[in-house]
Amino acid sequence: MEIFAILSPLSFLLVIFGVFVGIIFGSIPGLTATMALAVFLPLTFSMDLVEGIALLLGLYVGGISGGMIPAALLKIPGTPSSIATTFDAYPMAQKGQAEKALKIGITASIIGGTISLIVLYFFAPLLGSVAINFTPVEKFLIIVFALTIIASISEKSLLTGIFSGVLGVFFSLVGVFPTNNQLRLVPDFLQDELYSGFSLLPVLIGLFGISEILRSSEQGLKTVTKNKVKMTKERTENEAKFKFSVFKGQTVNTVRSSFIGTFLGILPGVGGSAASLMSYTQAQNFSKHPERLGKGAPEGVIASEASNNGLTGGALVPLLSLGIPGDSTTAVLLGAFVLQGVSVGPLFITDYPDVWQAMIYVLLFANIVMFIMMFSSIRYFARILAVPKYILYPIILLMCVVGSYAINSGVMVDVWTALIFGALGFVFMKIGIQITTFLIGFILGRALELNFLDSMQAHNGDLLIFFTRSPIDLVIWALIIASVIFGIISNRKKGITVPEDQNASPPRKADHSQ
């Protein structure tokens, strides 16, 4: 079979290991899928590209799925994409149906992941075939569009989102100027160390590993949640026992939520929290009994978990076809390609067909492993919540430092980069700068500059070329303007927000008059 010709036995083992570790990271509040990938990314440097991708995609799928465990048992989303899962999974757990709620979520997750994989398989090559004809003008405008849409769905204001992205672009410009090899934004005593700018991997580790450790340390690592729900045998077997018949009549809800998650994942920077909330709202809008949602309705769990796992394949579409990360997790995944010297973008699928096929097989296998592993062992994964953070975090911090030091064969400046960006990430959380927007601005900043310079050189410095070259440029400009207008409107008239109070009720049914 082709799958065994592309994937080695080690690749299968790495997927299994990645899913297992990803579930652990996702199930512990504060440890996200992004953090899992950032911590384990240095290990892929010594691996074959396919094997490294196998490990990281396993972590990705496991991390997203594992977030439902604390969402159901503690009403604390393990990952941002599990926010809406708390609305119905936790009430089910309070009724003694914790295992049933988790198994419903697991089943919905594999359905959402499979649908997103199908969309990825057919849509990424199609988008790549269109993007292959893009000139630097179109590439520049696409990056501008990506940054504006990320800013428009910023958790804070549109202005904050734009500032976060621009700040990321500014940090990406540290180092040598591409046209004349002159250093810029670099102190004299760091010219050798920062000649090529900040290394991506230490920046990722700092922003998503060390900063989260600092944030949790400030809150207190010894804090123990008192409202834990034990996975005990339920009294009413008929109500509490999971049966696949619970999905009867939920086909439309499951498929709709999967597609919502997938296509929101294609939009750079939208994230799983927006996908799960939108899917939950649509489930509420079309439900025959909307009054039941928020009180322990299985359809609410199905909507949330199908959408956030649908995000996994969708977020890979812009990464592989345009070279633009769909979310913070795929931004870390981009680091794996950078370490291996592989350029993702319109030519990726044609230049690396074996890697492309391997990614499809790995995602399929990872979803299957996730389902089997969680469905059969959910009671044991739930016990992970009892592990104190003051034991886990020193180990993770050590991995962050060692990984940063080893990535460039022992360059101490990379360790300082990770620590500095860890402190910056902590400060960003305090002052409201969006870390994901900052990171994607940092990743795309160099490409933004190069495509702008290439466009100017090819057309004698004529700025009008960005408006008059072709109809597709006008389409991209229309999308840019639409994303900015959307950001302004959403900033004035907020849609669904997640209440900070853990005991707050789920979002109300949307008012179509707004």
Please check the confidence at residue 167 and state whether its pLDDT lies above 80: yes
What pLDDT is recorded for position 192? 81
Q: What integer pLDDT is reported at residue 81 of this predicted model? A: 74
Distance CA(239)–CA(243), nearest Å, equals: 10
pLDDT on residue 118: 92
Q: Is the pLDDT of residue 1 over 70?
A: no
**Quick count: other Cβ atoms within 10 Å of Cβ 229?**
18
pLDDT digits (tens, 9 = 90+) for 7-21: 889 999 999 999 999
pLDDT per position as a tens digit, 257-273 = 999 888 878 876 555 56
Structure-block tokens of residue 297:
């309705």
Kindly give, in sequence order, each residue whose CB lies less than 8 Å from that of residue 51, ignoring residues fewer than 6 positions away.
Answer: 8, 10, 11, 14, 44
Give the pLDDT confidence score for residue 225 in this predicted structure. 46
More confident residue, 352 or 384: 352
Predicted TM-score (pTM) above 0.85: no
- What percent of the chain clears pLDDT 90, i.e. is strictly above it? 17
With a CB cutoff of 8 Å and minimum separation 6, the contacts of 266 are 123, 314, 315, 317, 318, 326
Over residues 403-455, the pLDDT tens digits come to 788 766 677 888 899 999 999 999 998 998 888 788 878 878 888 888 898 88
| Counts for the chain of helices (H) and strands (E), in that order | 24, 2
Residue reference for tokens 């810029």: 184
The rounded distance, in Å, linking the Cα atoms of 212 and 61 is 21
Q: Residue 272: what pLDDT?
A: 59
CA distance 318 to 139: 13
Token reading at 181 = 């090899």
Q: Which residues are registered as beta bridge partners of 175?
A: 184
Place of tokens 């980069």: 417
pLDDT class for 161, splitting at 50, 70, 90?
Answer: confident
Sequence-distant (6+) residues with CB within 8 A of 105 are: 68, 72, 85, 89, 301, 302, 304, 305
Among 143-152, 158-167, 248-257, 357-366, whose mean pLDDT is lowest? 143-152
Map out the domains of the chain as residue ranges: 2-492
Residue 27: closest CA among 2, 54, 63: 63
123-126 own/partner pairs: CB under 8 Å, 24+ apart: 123/266, 123/317, 124/316, 124/317, 124/320, 124/321, 124/349, 125/321, 125/349
Mean pLDDT of 1-7: 74
Task: With cut-offs at 50, 70 and 90, classify the pLDDT of residue 223.
Answer: very low
Q: Which residues are within 8 A (CB) of 489 and not within 5 positions of it... i.e. 6 or more apart? A: none
Give the DSSP H/E element, type plus range, for residue 183: strand 183-184
Ranked by mean pLDDT, the top range of 68-82, 245-259, 377-391 is: 245-259
Q: What mean pLDDT is predicted for residues 309-328? A: 83
Predicted confidence at residue 236, as pLDDT, reads 44
Of 24, 50, 133, 163, residue with least CA distance to 441: 163
The pLDDT of residue 328 is 75
Residue bearing the bigger pLDDT, 107 or 500 = 107
pLDDT band at 59 (very low <50, low <70, confident <90, very high): very high
* Residue corresponding to tokens 């910056």: 424
- Of 392 and 171, more confident: 171
- Identify whether the C-beta of residue 72 lies closer than 8 Å to the C-beta of residue 101: yes
Confidence band of 155 (pLDDT split at 50, 70, 90)? low
Q: Judge whether 438 and 325 are in contact, CB under 8 Å.
A: no
Section 91-120 average pLDDT: 89
Other C-beta atoms closer than 10 Å to the C-beta of 140 total 25
Phi then psi for residue 176, to 5 deg, are -80, 140
Q: Residue 366's pLDDT band (boundaries 50, 70, 90)?
A: very high
Q: What is the pLDDT of residue 419?
A: 92
Amino acid at position 85, single letter: T
pLDDT of residue 367: 92
Measured distance CA(460)–CA(479) in Å, rounded: 27
Answer whether residue 276 shows pLDDT above 60. Answer: yes
3-state class (DSSP) for residue 176: strand
Residue 171 has pLDDT above 70, yes or no: yes
DSSP state, residue 509: P
Among 251, 298, 302, 246, CA closest to 276: 302
